[in-house]
Chain A
Amino acid sequence: MKYKKLGATNLEVSLICLGTMTWGQQNSESDGFAQMDYALEKGINFFDTAELYATPPMDHSYGKTEKIIGNWFVEKKNRHKIILGSKIAGPGFKWIRGGGNEYCEKGLETALDESLKRLRTDYIDIYQLHWPERNTNYFGKLDYQHDENEKKWHEFDSVLKILGKFIKQGKIRHIGISNETPYGFSKYLESAKIHNLPRIVSVQNPYNFLNRTYDVGMSEISMRENVGLLAYSPLAFGYLSGKYINGEMPKNSRMGLYADIWGRYRKKKAYEAVEEYYKLSKKKNMSLTHMALAYVNSRPFVTSNIIGATTMGQLKENIESINVNLDKKTIDEINLIHQNNPNPAP
């Protein structure tokens, strides 16, 4: 395994982070345990979850993933071996505290206390805001659309002040953001600097061959401010495993099960781009999965690459990507495909 510093902290997190959002729906608790055992054995010390999980988000599976992780911590006595990331949900889900804006003191406190209870621990290493309260472009939206009549949302300063309290109380160690844009990223940094408030240590945004929008404006902020990316969806929901090419729809795959919910990558140009990356991986004698993950691993602004799996075979292959090195020529060829098919699935 390889390790990187988490932002400006002294924590060393594994370059591969174990994503957990399938546990509690596509995966059972015992599947989850087997995945955690294996990942830890392979040197992974970083797990990422969220109060919202399992996915797709439904009221009956809300909190299930955290519970599975909590049970594993207690049963295996492994809490201290893991750097644990979790997230408070943004607005929009009625079954989570009514679905309104969440980043007030009461919302944050309730969410955090309940996550701690489910996770059966007394601290979370990185507590993340799952998505912004304000109107902006994330979850598949390439472009920002201004809304003159936007609802009020909690100011950056006020959110950081509340989170600072939890840090003092020892309930959380560090904070991060997710599904953010350059405006939010900069404002959190500015607010921390001007008002001497806690500084975010990570941004969890999507990053994969079909969506490299992070490269446009976010990556410069990451590099220059030393706040790295926790890349989610590095395989674009499995599209970059190649399993959906030629119109295939495996029965137990995420698309086979939940195609109605996940439309983000089902785009003509995305399919065309997948074909090209697939051909390149064949030419290079490696699996598309390995090429896609190794590319994400290689990016200088990536702190950790959040992989997910529903089978042990997938998990092994995903973690093995750490040992795949792409030569300069392969990277140039990847960039050429990207240039001709830029960001088809933001």
Chain B
Amino acid sequence: MKFKKLGNTDIDVSLICLGTMNMGEQNTQEESFEQMDYSLEKGVNFFDTAEVYAVPPRKETQGKSEEIIGNWFMEKKKRDKIILATKCVGAGVDWIRGGGNQFSEKNFTQAIEGSLKRLKTDYIDLYQLHWPERNTNFFGTRDYDHKTADGVELEFDGIDSSKKAEHGGWNSFESILKVLKKFITQGKIRHIGVSNETPWGFGKYLEVSEKLNLPKIVSVQNPYNLLNRSYDIGMSEISCRENVGLLAYSPLAIGYLSGKYRENKIPEKSRIGLFGQFWTRYKEPAAIRATDEYFNLAKDSGVSLTQMALAFVNSRPFMTSNIIGATTMEQLKENIGSVDVDLSKEIIEKINLIHSNNPNPTP
């Protein structure tokens, strides 16, 4: 395993992070335990979860992933071996504290208490804001679309966003950082991060923490994969220059970059086979064409598409950790194995050429 510093902290996190959002839906507790055991054995010391998991988000499975991780900590007595990240949900999920804005002191208090209880621990290493309260472009929306009026309904990833905060109606960066500072002082959380953020939000969190001497975010969890490198456009420069790295999610574009959905195949137990109506983000003709090109390059280069896609993410200088997920042990092994795959300069150039001809088909 390789390790990187988490932002400006002294914490070394593994370059591969274990994603857990299948735990409690596509994977049972027993399977999840096996994944965690195996990952730890392979040097992975970084797990990422969220109060909203398992996915797709449903009332019945909310909190299940955290519970499974908590049970594993207790049974294996491994809490001290893991850098643990979880997230407070953004607005729009009705069954979590009513679905309104979440980044107030009251809601954070409830969210953190709930997560700590399920995780059977008394601290979270990295506490993240799952998505912004304000209207902005994330979850598959390429471009920022300014809204001036309240009550505009937007759809994102199947979550009813009618309660999503509009301009002026969301908690300020300053108030969020002040509340989170309290929880850091209390020892309940150690560091904070953002997720599904944009350059404006990223810049403002940094500005406000610098100006008012409030906690500095240590990571950004955004999507990054061969079909969506929009992080490269404006975010990666901020990451490199401010030393706040990316925790890349969906490095395989929810499985599309394993190649398993090529030629219109939809395996029965795959995520698209089970929840195709929920996961529409990568179902774009331009993405399918690009995937074919990456597949052919991988084949010519004697590497699996999965490992090529993951090794590319691993190699990026602004990357702190690559959050992989798996539903089978074979997938998990292949994904973790990517840490030992080095792509030659020539392959990287060919990847960049395909990218240049098919830039970010699925933002």
Chain A residues proximal to chain B, CB less than 8 Å: 136-137, 142-144, 146, 181-183, 185-187, 189-190, 193-194, 212-213, 215-221, 223-225, 267-269, 300-301, 339-344, 346
A137, B117: Cα distance in complex, Å: 45
- Contact of A182 with B237 at beta-carbon distance under 8 Å, contacts A342-B360, A343-B360, A344-B359 already known: yes
Give the residues in chain B near A182, CB-CB below 8 Å: 199-200, 202-203, 234-235, 237-238
Give 18 A-B contacts (CB < 8 Å), ordered by A residue: A137-B232, A142-B232, A142-B359, A143-B233, A144-B236, A182-B234, A186-B203, A186-B204, A186-B206, A194-B210, A194-B211, A216-B143, A217-B144, A219-B144, A220-B137, A223-B146, A342-B286, A343-B359
**Least CB separation from B143: chain A residue:** A215
Q: Is the CB of A217 within 8 A of B234?
A: yes
Q: Is the CB of B142 within 8 A of A339?
A: yes
Q: Is the CB of A269 within 8 A of B357?
A: yes
Encode contact with A along B132-171: 1 for CB under 8 Å, 0 otherwise: 0000110000111010000000000000000000010000
Which range holds the interface residue count of chain B?
Answer: 35 or more
Q: Is the CB of A224 within 8 A of B200?
A: yes
Q: Is the CB of B144 within 8 A of A143?
A: no
Q: Is the CB of A219 within 8 A of B146?
A: yes
A185, B359: Cα distance in complex, Å: 23
A301, B356: Cα distance in complex, Å: 27
A181, B237: Cα distance in complex, Å: 8
Contact of A220 among B144, B206, B233, B285 (CB under 8 A): B144
In addition to A190-B210, A225-B200, 8 A-B residue pairs with Cβ atoms within 8 Å of each other are A137-B237, A146-B236, A182-B235, A185-B199, A215-B144, A220-B137, A301-B146, A342-B359
Give the residues in chain B near A342, CB-CB below 8 Å: 142, 286, 359-361, 363
Q: Is the CB of B199 within 8 A of A220?
A: yes
Interface centre among B232, B233, B235, B284 (most CB of A within 10 A): B233
Interface centre among A142, A215, A340 (most CB of B within 10 A): A142
Q: Is the CB of A213 within 8 A of B207?
A: no
Chain B residues proximal to chain A, CB less than 8 Å: 136-137, 142-144, 146, 167, 198-200, 202-204, 206-207, 210-211, 229-230, 232-238, 240-241, 284-286, 317-318, 356-361, 363
Number of CB contacts from chain A to chain B under 8 A: 123
A345 to chain B, nearest CB (A): 10
Q: Is the CB of B144 within 8 A of A212?
A: no
A136, B185: Cα distance in complex, Å: 38
Give the residues in chain B near A224, CB-CB below 8 Å: 167, 200
Q: Is the CB of A212 within 8 A of B200?
A: no
A142, B167: Cα distance in complex, Å: 29
A300, B237: Cα distance in complex, Å: 26
- Give the 5 A-B CB pairs with smallest separation, nearest first: A182-B199, A186-B203, A215-B143, A217-B234, A143-B232
Interface centre among A189, A217, A267 (most CB of B within 10 A): A217
A224, B132: Cα distance in complex, Å: 15
Contact of A143 among B204, B210, B229 (CB under 8 A): B229
Give the residues in chain A near B229, CB-CB below 8 Å: 143
- Contact of A146 with B137 at beta-carbon distance under 8 Å, contacts A217-B235, A269-B357, A343-B360 already known: no
A197 to chain B, nearest CB (A): 14
Q: Is the CB of B232 within 8 A of A300?
A: no
Interface centre among B206, B211, B359, B361 (most CB of A within 10 A): B359
Q: Is the CB of A216 within 8 A of B230?
A: yes
A218, B230: Cα distance in complex, Å: 13
